[in-house]
Amino acid sequence: VSPIKAAASAKNMRFGTAFFTGDTYLDNAYLGLMQEHCNVAVSENEHKWGDIRRNPPPEYRWQNGDTLVLWAQQNMIDYRFHVLLWEVEERYPDWFASYNWGTNEAAEAERLLTDHIETVARRSPSDFYSWDVVNEAVDNTSGAYRETPFSRRLGGMENVVELAFRTARAELPTAQLVYNDFMSWNSWSENHRTGVLRLLENMLAKGVPIDALGLQSHVWGPRSGGEEATWRAFLKEVTDMGLELTITELDIEDQQLSADIETRDQEIADTTKAYLEACFEFDQLRDVLCWGLVHRYSWLQTFQQRADGLQKRGLPFADDYRPTLMAEAI
Ligand code: XIL
């Protein structure tokens, strides 16, 4: 397969992947695929609170993120930041459970959140062009706002999102500020899409500086057939609000696809092609990032398993680093 980044550049787009300090960073062949195919990269976990803030304040841990960013810089690969705030309770570091919030919990929550955003933004290279500011504030199934240690203390999720974006904008005047969520044309529900639209509408009405919606794009196969129309209508609503789009975590969840590898790879490629074609109708979309390049390092291997126990294949390169039909499709 020819370099995917070249195909992307021809459309004035970028292509990239997540990588992480464990296996992928230690695998020269994986890094070789990144050099060949990617002009943008993102840390899979190393910029999350779970890593940077693994230990209670005042400690910030920079080493893992720095390792990845330095490699990208040396290879002239752009970077996007994932993520300043992941609004899922289980994703908060353990120390939150016993944190001393003092007598004014709202003030302390505001201080903790703004301190994190300011410190991380000031410490980061100024050329990070795109930032996931808030991730997954809306429940996948109900579409309601989630409840988290911050939302409970700051008077609800909308206040958290507003505070996070306003703080980020003050530090990052020109970067693309992204609200990122677990969405694609079939992950997860109509309720979820409605909830995300409501959040974006309410934020923009208040002048909150959100530039783009991040479409994680953990796409489920098989398709039921009606996805294109619903998805186009959704993307039109988003872009009509004046927002840009970015595909931040593309992979194909193949647990319900065929067992036979040739058949399955074709199904994955067909899904990828149809999904990207629908998204590419919107020229507000400039980036496509996969959530990994090689099957064995994919989070999908452990997220949920196939009933037959076979390895999942919803990324563009096989374990021998050869491109699959999905790479061709992209
Ligand atoms: C996942 C990582 O891939 C895993 O290694 C980690 O254990 C959990 O998080 N949505 C996101 C990503 O925004 O941060 C998640 O990444 C996958 C779903």
Q: Kindly report the protein residue whose alpha carbon is nearest to atom 5 of ligand 1.
A: 299
> 319, 46 in Cβ contact below 8 A?
no
Question: 251 lies in which domain range?
Answer: 4-329
Nearest residue (CA) to ligand 1, atom 10: 182
Residue to substitute in 19, 20, 23, 44 for testing ligand 1 pocket (most ligand atoms within 8 angstroms of CB): 44
Which ligand 1 atom minimizes the distance to the CA of 299? Answer: 3
Pocket of ligand 1 (CB under 6 A): 44-45, 135, 182, 216, 249, 299
pLDDT of residue 223: 85
CATH number of the domain within which 198 lies: 3.20.20.80
Sign of CA dihedral 6, 8, 11, 13: negative
- pLDDT exceeds cutoff 90 at 187: no
Q: How much is the pLDDT for 188?
A: 86
Number of neighbours of residue 200 by Cβ within 10 angstroms: 21
Q: Which atom of ligand 1 is nearest to the CA of 48?
A: 14
Question: How deeply is 83 buried, as exposed, middle or buried, from its count of CB atoms within 10 A (0-12, 13-18, 19+)?
Answer: buried
Q: What is the mean pLDDT of residues 309-320?
A: 98
Q: Each residue of 130-179: pLDDT tens digit?
A: 999 999 999 999 999 999 999 999 999 999 999 999 999 999 999 999 99
Q: What domain count does the chain have?
A: 1
Nearest to 47 by CA among 165, 151, 147, 132: 132
Q: What is the DSSP string of 299-312?
A: THHHHS--TT-PPP
Q: How do beta strands 14-19 and 285-290 pair?
A: parallel
Give residue 103 CA to ligand 1 midpoint distance, Å: 34
| Predicted confidence band of residue 66 (pLDDT cuts 50, 70, 90) | very high
pLDDT tens per residue across span 273-297: 999 999 999 999 999 999 999 999 9
Which pLDDT belongs to residue 225? 84
SS3 150: helix
Ligand 1 binding pocket mutation candidate from 90, 299, 300, 304 (most atoms within 8 A of CB)? 299
For the cut 90, the answer to whether the pLDDT of residue 224 exceeds it is no
Ligand 1 atom nearest to 180, measured from its CA: 13
